[in-house]
A = this chain, B = another copy of it.
Amino acid sequence: MHKKITIKDIARLANVSHTTVSRALNNKSRIKNETKEKILAIASELNYQPNFIARSLVMNRTKTLGLVITTIANPFYTELSQGIETTAISLGYNIILCSSNYDLSAEKQYINMLRSKGVDGIIFTSAHMGDPNIIGLAEKGFPAILVNRRTYHPMVREKVDYVGVDNILGGFLAVEHLIKLGHKWIGVIGGSSESSVGFERLEGGKKALTTYGLKVIGDYFLEGDFLKGSGYQGGKKFLKMDEPPTAIFAANDYMALGTYQAILEEGLKIPEDMALIGFNDIEFTSMRGIELTTIGQKKYEMGALAVKTLVERIEGGKVGPSKEIILEPELIIRKTCGFHSKGYQIESKKSNDEQ
């Protein structure tokens, strides 16, 4: 393999010191235009590529960001990642991908690795509620940002920025939609209790119930884990109740898809016999044959915003208190909750066991 050419090679050919070459390449002041151009010409002639490793060592900056994610297999995260990666590139940063696969100890190893490799900052897309790793980072003042999921730990809130959707409002919108369609018995399948978004969406749902004068019934709140299987099981569970709900809000689309399947398996029709609403608006939920009503959020923008905020913090020094950027969710009406003609006048839906 070709020997890599360095600034010293250029220096020799240009009859200057390697420092001067460095100055020319970095467009520093106090260099004669003539010599600069000579050096630049030689550099491009030789197709010189700077060695970022060496630069990083002395500058203590790598122009690289770590992205810690549970799994990119979830379309929600892939879209988020796209926003993150594309924006990072546009700002001159690269992304090192780290899929923790829901393993907290793996996360710790990732963080150590990333810090060893000198990343300038780390993006966490799926922080656990009391994630000790993130708390540790916050204590050290290491540049990091939380996207999507957050942590309520005071130290983290104080030091680490956050970008996410208003999950409480999202949950509210979902359940409100069901209520406005005439539902009074609404089942909710939450996310894992370690996740802030699951918790918040649940809170929003409860808020909608109380706002509209409906009771919050414990049996109608099931805990899930954001995976399809738990949506499926939740659906089955609801349908086996003496008084099943007439509508179900699943805290994400994956679970909603599982619930969908459970409902069909029990011989019920959607939306006639059971209304269903999800959360996230992942690709494919809009496809024919599914057309899930759901709560949408700007995933790509969220990722983009996260990177911008993080890079700002990295490059702007450690100034300023931490930010919390909250985006607006949006109700996306498709076909799994039925239609409303005017002002939410919907055909009242009686299930057999309604009293």
Residues of A within 8 A of B (CB): 1-2, 49-54, 56-57, 62, 64, 67, 71-73, 75, 78-79, 81-82, 85-86, 89, 94-99, 101, 112-113, 115-118, 140-142, 227-229, 254, 257, 260-261, 264, 283-284, 287-290, 318, 353-355
Quick one: closest B residue to A289, CB to CB?
B289
Quick one: closest B residue to A71, CB to CB?
B82
Q: Are B53 and A57 in contact (CB under 8 A)?
A: yes
Q: Which residues of B contact A1 (CB under 8 A)?
A: 140-142, 318
Q: Which residues of B contact A101 (CB under 8 A)?
A: 86
Q: Which residues of B contact A354 (CB under 8 A)?
A: 228
Q: Which residues of B contact A283 (CB under 8 A)?
A: 73, 284
Q: Which residues of B contact A355 (CB under 8 A)?
A: 73, 227-229, 254
**Which of B75, B94, B229, B257 is within 8 Å of A75, CB to CB?**
B75
Q: List 19 A-B contacts (CB under 8 A).
A: A1-B142, A49-B116, A50-B116, A51-B118, A52-B118, A53-B56, A53-B117, A53-B118, A73-B283, A73-B355, A75-B78, A78-B78, A85-B98, A94-B97, A229-B355, A254-B355, A261-B288, A284-B287, A289-B290
Q: Which residues of B contact A260 (CB under 8 A)?
A: 288
Q: Are B99 and A97 in contact (CB under 8 A)?
A: no
Asked whether A72 and B75 contact (CB < 8 A) given A97-B85, A288-B264, the answer is no
